[in-house]
Amino acid sequence: GQSLEQPSEVTAVEGAIVQINCTYQTSGFYGLSWYQQHDGGAPTFLSYNALDGLEETGRFSSFLSRSDSYGYLLLQELQMKDSASYFCAVRANQGGKLIFGQGTELSVKP
């Protein structure tokens, strides 16, 4: 089967740094994506990694290690508005659908 594992919940304080990990087991790999979903809202695309290394976009960074089947989303200078669910997703074959993890609920406390 194909599966993605990520923690179900993470709690952090404003201004802190948090890392959300994702490990995957899929028949193939064509890239790891991250999505953010606020309660009651649409999932929104955050980042995409096809090659090993770190991609930085403002306060958010995403990392991929294909040899370890592992990636993470790093959120810096946390703000209250970052409280949301974060999903990792893998494209298992070229032209294929995205397979999503179960999501990590991030709570940012004052």
Partner 1 sequence: ETGVTQTPRHLVMGMTNKKSLKCEQHLGHNAMYWYKQSAKKPLELMFVYNFKEQTENNSVPSRFSPECPNSSHLFLHLHTLQPEDSALYLCASSQDEGSDYGYTFGSGTRLTVV
Q: Is 65 exposed, middle or buried (0-12, 13-18, 19+ CB in 10 A)?
A: middle
- Listed in order, strand segments (DSSP E) in the chain are 3-5, 9-13, 18-25, 32-37, 44-49, 53-57, 60-65, 70-75, 84-91, 98-100, 104-109
Structure tokens at 57: 């976009």
For residue 76, the cross-strand partners are none
Q: How far is the CB of 11 from partner 1 (least distance, A)?
A: 17
Q: How far is the CB of 47 from partner 1 (least distance, A)?
A: 9
* By CB under 8 A, residue 103 contacts partner 1: yes
* By CB under 8 A, residue 71 contacts partner 1: no
* By CB under 8 A, residue 43 contacts partner 1: yes
* By CB under 8 A, residue 91 contacts partner 1: yes
Q: How far is the CB of 5 from partner 1 (least distance, A)?
A: 10
Interface positions with partner 1 (CB under 8 A)? 4, 8, 30-31, 33, 35, 40-45, 48, 50, 87, 91, 94-103
